[in-house]
A and B are shown apart, each in its own frame.
Chain A
């Protein structure tokens, strides 16, 4: 039987533009290609800019990961210029980044991922009293009465009856891969709506420290929000108590809604713990410095590498071992397509060789994506929540070990279940629970420091470019919600001469390299992967969404020569 050629474009409920092509035979996926179809060239645009502006430009790489590029950029520039930010600024960045994780992961679960597992139409067959009984059995959350769920059901019923299904139109409702009973579907739909309200509230933490969300403001050397308990226009007790309330409400929702729902839903889909594992190499660069950034032992989630799924050893990470390949990407290198280049030497010249649009297929072409292929010592690496939880677990991290063991026990599966589509989705929930708790510690530390008389949020020691060396270079790492992120900056004569980002979705969505090794998306789609109805890509969406793709982040480019632009023409 010949393979069926499949194209899924657009992949919706993600950030950005992703195209998946595949071949399927007898209900299984036999081959897969992941293609990023957008290119913006932000790193070219970075050249000649003031390095203190770089965070704002690179932040616009992504409005979903709206914190991560800004902080990585500040860290890279601070590394280059020898700036050590005040402890308060680090705590504030942790709180802002921590809330980004929590809010982003909850939105991902309910609004981007849930419809892969939850049949909205089936919720109309639910008995609200049964939903209430289930809700009370797994959580003390207050909104758990039969009348509450009856209201939600009525709202959905009248919506569906209108015949205008809006964002739910053409969904895969009734597909045999949906396994939840109607009462659980109704529970999830109710929380889909509640999470929309919740996320709007808790993200206001960004607004207080950064002035707005999306795209809050950051600052090389610290944070711009001054602390003064005796002024109306600064961080004071009124704003701090508001933040404290958000942290409390974030934790309550995560512990009482998101996590119980995730475990309950996972219980109906245990077969997905053996599907979609893919690449077994994992990288975490570590995140949430709880001391000086240079003190890697004080990262809350540790740095390290797991190879071949072997959790007995955590290998060290050395950023010098990262190289990017373009064998399957629409670029060219001076040294030819086989070369791999470290970001410090990175060169990129966009060269589209795909079919002129409109086109039908990219599969079978040598080059098929704007995504480069980063490799660590030649290996593709999976990054993200699962990588963080595995590296932490293998490193003996107490809280991670506890929640991993408890989750495996609750689902009655072994550790191998982590290497799967379900494992990625579960790991995202685990780290959200841990961070929702850790936020309170960072907040308490900030209060203790202010109480002790330290209100500094910024150091201006190297703000003035006259204090900078004529050339400098820096590396800013950050483990973002979607995984390991690196920014590399070179500064010459006060201006950015080279800028390079290697981003989580570049790792995960990378195409085949010169050795034919697939990237993590591709490898997971051909790992014991079902596809019951080739014309309905529901199972593909489950696995791809389990990575939480962020395509705008993943594609970047650098000037071919890496030379600074020192002369420009004025019209």
Chain B
């Protein structure tokens, strides 16, 4: 199979130049196009016009706009192992607008954006990081004097597809946490007329972003997603079901306090607040920074950052499920344990249930404030009677 990554269009040559470099002569290419046109019933003579059109094909245009955000998602993509950002930008795509990396500023930057959108109308891939603040007419973010909403709507109008990268573009993230002072929302809250793919996480692993772009270039479509628009190839599995410490969970072997003897044996972090049982993320599979490690692997509980509203539903981060906002204090350990057991076998279906649970709590305030001391790690109780 031809892979655009295995045979990159180095230096941004056109398809014709690319084929020539790979030993395909113009004559062969014309014959191929003529044959193709005959098959398509267009008549052989149309082959010349088709050859001209195909030969002009260039590296796909990617426009990356950054709205209300912290730039962490860009940094994450800059860390990707394969394809590297250098190969991506020079060989695979034409990154026609990038606030963080582009040479031009001010009017020249705006002009580059307008040119890229006009020349690739209906063709370019739009990547968005950052949320859109809607309160007070959008005054909480302007670029070149225009609101984030205006910029997003204009950029999305001509895009072939939209990829929302990171928790901010997904649903608003930290600035949308209670009480969401600026009215921050995600891309899919604004763009309704075309599919929006959500690369969840605060930030996501950079490789998920580049792999999604590669998927789009190789197969000509975006990857399949779950009910929250997250690609299944990355978010189809729950952390708890892929965790190397799962055996400790099943055996009732828990860290009770950071740096205790159990922490030094790398036991399960559930009792110190791990949200892995409620989180769908590729962290344990892809790992971070070229497969170096991942949060649980480095001894810290998962905070659930790939899930909607995790700042409110997964906090306090060191409190054990189910004593956190997303599940409500009315839930007891057995109920959650049952949900977890179902999750182990039902996978994505369970996720849909959990997502629904979260969305019912959407915009809900944090649970009633505990009395001082109530945030303490509760006495040791294991779910589902396992120990």
Chain A positions near chain B (C-beta within 8 angstroms):
7-17, 19, 37-42, 44-45, 48-50, 52-53, 56-57, 60-64, 66, 107, 111-112, 115, 120, 155, 157-159, 161-164, 166-172, 193, 196-197, 199-200, 203-204, 206-217, 219, 221-222, 224-228, 231-234, 242, 330, 350, 352, 354, 356-360, 370, 455-458, 460, 463-466, 468, 470, 493-495, 535-537, 541, 552, 557, 566-571
Encode contact with A along B328-363: 1 for CB under 8 Å, 0 otherwise: 000000000000000000000000000000000001
Q: Which of A7, A12, A460 contacts B102 (CB 8 A)?
A: A12
Chain B positions near chain A (C-beta within 8 angstroms):
10-14, 58-59, 61, 68-76, 78-81, 84-86, 89-90, 93-96, 98-112, 115-116, 133, 136-147, 150, 173-175, 177-182, 184, 202-203, 205, 244-245, 257-259, 263-266, 283, 288-290, 292-300, 303, 311, 315-319, 363-377
Contact A159 B142 (CB under 8 A): no
Closest-by-CB residue of B relative to A229 is: B264
Taking the nearest CB of chain B, how far is it from the CB of A161, in angstroms? 7
Q: Which of B96, B108, B289 contacts A166 (CB 8 A)?
A: B96
Contact A166 B105 (CB under 8 A): no
Cα of A288 to Cα of B300 in the assembled complex, Å: 24
Task: Specify which chain A residues have a CB less than 8 angstroms from the CB of B376 in the assembled complex.
Answer: 464-466
Contact A40 B369 (CB under 8 A): no
Taking the nearest CB of chain A, how far is it from the CB of B148, in angstroms? 9
Closest-by-CB residue of A relative to B367 is: A570
Contact A215 B182 (CB under 8 A): no
Task: Specify which chain A residues have a CB less than 8 angstroms from the CB of B85 in the assembled complex.
Answer: 196
Q: Which of B58, B180, B368 contacts A570 (CB 8 A)?
A: B368
Given A211-B288, A211-B297, A215-B202, A200-B84 contact (CB < 8 Å): yes
Given A9-B106, A168-B103, A211-B78 contact (CB < 8 Å): no
Task: Specify which chain A residues have a CB less than 8 angstroms from the CB of B73 in the assembled complex.
Answer: 63
Task: Specify which chain B residues have a CB less than 8 angstroms from the CB of A111 in the assembled complex.
Answer: 101
Taking the nearest CB of chain B, how far is it from the CB of A479, in angstroms? 20
Cα of A144 to Cα of B265 in the assembled complex, Å: 47
Tell me which of B100, B265, B294, B318 has the highest count of chain A C-beta atoms within 10 A of its own C-beta.
B100
Cα of A9 to Cα of B257 in the assembled complex, Å: 49
Chain A to chain B: the 7 pairs with minimum beta-carbon distance, closest first: A63-B72, A158-B11, A233-B266, A162-B12, A171-B103, A211-B295, A466-B373
- The 19 sampled A-B contact pairs (Cβ below 8 Å) are A10-B105, A12-B104, A16-B71, A50-B318, A161-B11, A162-B11, A162-B12, A167-B102, A168-B102, A211-B294, A214-B203, A215-B203, A221-B258, A228-B266, A357-B147, A358-B147, A494-B375, A495-B369, A567-B369
Contact A570 B365 (CB under 8 A): yes
Task: Specify which chain A residues have a CB less than 8 angstroms from the CB of B150 in the assembled complex.
Answer: 357-358
Contact B289 A52 (CB under 8 A): no
Contact B81 A200 (CB under 8 A): yes
Closest-by-CB residue of A relative to B146 is: A358
Task: Specify which chain B residues have a CB less than 8 angstroms from the CB of A557 in the assembled complex.
Answer: 181
Contact A169 B264 (CB under 8 A): no
With A53-B318, A457-B259, A464-B377 already in contact, 20 other A-B pairs whose C-beta atoms are closer than 8 Å: A7-B106, A9-B143, A45-B180, A48-B369, A155-B10, A158-B11, A166-B90, A170-B103, A171-B108, A197-B86, A203-B289, A211-B296, A212-B295, A213-B288, A219-B300, A221-B258, A358-B142, A456-B259, A466-B376, A552-B69
Cα of A106 to Cα of B105 in the assembled complex, Å: 21
Given A48-B369, A63-B203, A456-B259, A570-B139 contact (CB < 8 Å): no
Contact A164 B289 (CB under 8 A): no
Contact A566 B369 (CB under 8 A): yes
Contact B373 A465 (CB under 8 A): yes
Contact B289 A167 (CB under 8 A): no
Cα of A231 to Cα of B267 in the assembled complex, Å: 11
Q: Which of B105, B180, B258, B319 contacts A224 (CB 8 A)?
A: B258
Cα of A485 to Cα of B100 in the assembled complex, Å: 23
Task: Specify which chain B residues have a CB less than 8 angstroms from the CB of A352 in the assembled complex.
Answer: 136, 139-140
Q: Which of A39, A226, A357, A493 contacts B182 (CB 8 A)?
A: A39
Closest-by-CB residue of A relative to B148 is: A38
Taking the nearest CB of chain B, how far is it from the CB of A348, in angstroms? 11
Taking the nearest CB of chain A, how far is it from the CB of B113, in angstroms? 10
Cα of A9 to Cα of B317 in the assembled complex, Å: 38
Task: Specify which chain A residues have a CB less than 8 angstroms from the CB of B146 in the assembled complex.
Answer: 357-358
Contact A212 B289 (CB under 8 A): yes
Contact A66 B175 (CB under 8 A): no
